[in-house]
């Protein structure tokens, strides 16, 4: 059972939509919102991971609804959201978690790859947010949290996602002003390096380097999915009723560190919050590197 820091009925009777809700951070967010009483609609292009995550949530006693949706297609998004509202009533919460990118020097990024990343991370976030506002939040209010990234000092090696995520941060500010009078709050979280299944998408050479370099921040470790999810739950909750237009950095202080001025050394003094009862699916190199610090049993999956 998900070990949330929030009370179990925090979102009871409410409906939440989580894009990219079948894997990684989105899967964890879906679990936590369901454990706090929400009916969670999990969405993505591929149905298989959604079905697996929905089964996990139901097994834990939560309510999960599966709906495939390509967030890059505005007409499909609009029709899907309209159907969901008709079926489930007002959707109070939206988590724009769906996204994707690939590592590449900027000069080698091809137009197709650039458009695909910007289309998903920026346009998809916009299409879903606008559809939710039109079909439900403009009348009933609500809260939106978008997941961006630690791109404050640029994003070498991923120029496409850095540009798109920075745009979402600005969009967050704009929508907070325009949609505030309708009772809608709009915020974002900016995760740093997180131990999540998304790491499986990178080449093994990159994984090996990252497993060590992830320690090079003031906290001496990467973050957990549960630490990201807890921040999302807070920003959706009434405890954040006076917070809108902001982006919360969850990066262990990495975005503040300047190695040219301060030498960062690995340490294990920062203890992670592991509220998620299921260990993320990770490349083995990360399991080996962090199992002891994160309290994982390499064979148990927890």
Is the separation of the CB atoms in 57 and 63 below 8 Å? yes
168 vs 280, which has greater pLDDT?
A: 168
pLDDT, residue 81, reads: 98
Lowest mean pLDDT among 14-23, 59-68, 246-255, 257-266: 257-266
Residue 27 has pLDDT above 90, yes or no: yes
H/E element holding 241? none
Q: How far is C-alpha 166 from the chain's CA centre? A: 15
Element (H, E) at 186: strand 184-191
Closest listed residue to residue 194, CA positions, set 273, 269, 257, 300: 273
Among residues 232, 226, 233, the alpha carbon closest in space to that of 277 is found at 226
The domains of the chain, with CATH numbers, are: 15-294 (3.40.50.720)
Q: Which residues pair with 133 in a beta bridge?
A: none
Average pLDDT (47-72) is 97
Looking at the chain, the whole-number percentage of residues with pLDDT higher than 90 is: 70
CA–CA gap between residue 289 and residue 208 (Å, rounded) = 10
- Please state the pTM of the whole predicted model: 0.88
Say how far apart CA 224 and CA 280 lie, in whole Å: 9
What is the C-alpha to C-alpha distance for residues 4 and 13, in angstroms, rounded to an integer? 18
Cβ partners under 8 Å of residue 177, min gap 6: 245
Q: Give 260's pLDDT tier (boundaries 50, 70, 90).
A: very low
Say if residue 301's pLDDT is above 70. no
pLDDT for the residue 7: 95
Give the model's pLDDT for residue 261. Answer: 39
Residue indicated by tokens 């496409």: 160
- Rounded Cα distance, 26 and 234, in Å: 15
145-194 pLDDT, tens digit per residue, is 999 999 998 888 889 999 999 999 999 999 999 999 999 999 999 999 99
- The pLDDT tens digits for 208-229 are 888 888 888 889 999 999 999 9
């Amino acid at each position: 059972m998900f070990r949330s820091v929030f009370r179990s009925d925090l979102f009871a009777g409410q409906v939440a939509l989580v894009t990219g809700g079948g894997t990684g951070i989105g899967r964890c967010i879906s679990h936590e919102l369901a454990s706090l009483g929400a009916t969670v609609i999990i969405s993505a292009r591929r149905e298989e991971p959604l079905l697996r995550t929905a089964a996990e949530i139901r097994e834990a006693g939560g309510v999960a609804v599966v709906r495939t949706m390509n967030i890059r297609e505005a007409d499909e998004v609009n029709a899907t959201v309209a159907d969901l509202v008709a079926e489930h009533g007002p959707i109070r919460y939206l988590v724009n978690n769906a996204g994707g990118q690939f590592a590449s020097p900027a000069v080698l990024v091809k137009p197709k790859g650039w458009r695909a990343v910007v289309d998903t991370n920026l346009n998809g976030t916009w299409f879903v947010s606008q559809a939710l506002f039109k079909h439900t939040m403009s009348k009933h209010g609500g809260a939106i949290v978008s997941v961006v990234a630690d791109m404050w000092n640029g994003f070498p090696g991923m120029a496409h996602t850095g540009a798109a995520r920075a745009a979402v941060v600005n969009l967050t500010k704009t929508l907070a002003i325009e949609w505030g009078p309708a009772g809608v709050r709009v915020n974002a979280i900016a995760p740093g390096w997180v131990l999540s299944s998304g790491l499986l998408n990178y080449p093994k050479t990159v994984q090996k380097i990252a497993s060590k370099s992830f320690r090079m921040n003031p906290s001496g470790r990467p973050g957990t999915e549960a630490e990201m999810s807890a921040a999302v739950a807070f920003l959706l909750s009434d405890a954040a009723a006076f917070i809108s237009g902001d982006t919360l950095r969850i990066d262990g202080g990495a975005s503040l560190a300047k190695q040219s001025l301060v030498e960062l050394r690995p340490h294990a003094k920062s203890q992670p919050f592991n509220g998620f009862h299921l260990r993320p699916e990770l490349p083995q190199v990360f399991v080996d590197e962090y199992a002891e610090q994160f309290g994982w049993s390499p064979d148990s999956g927890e």
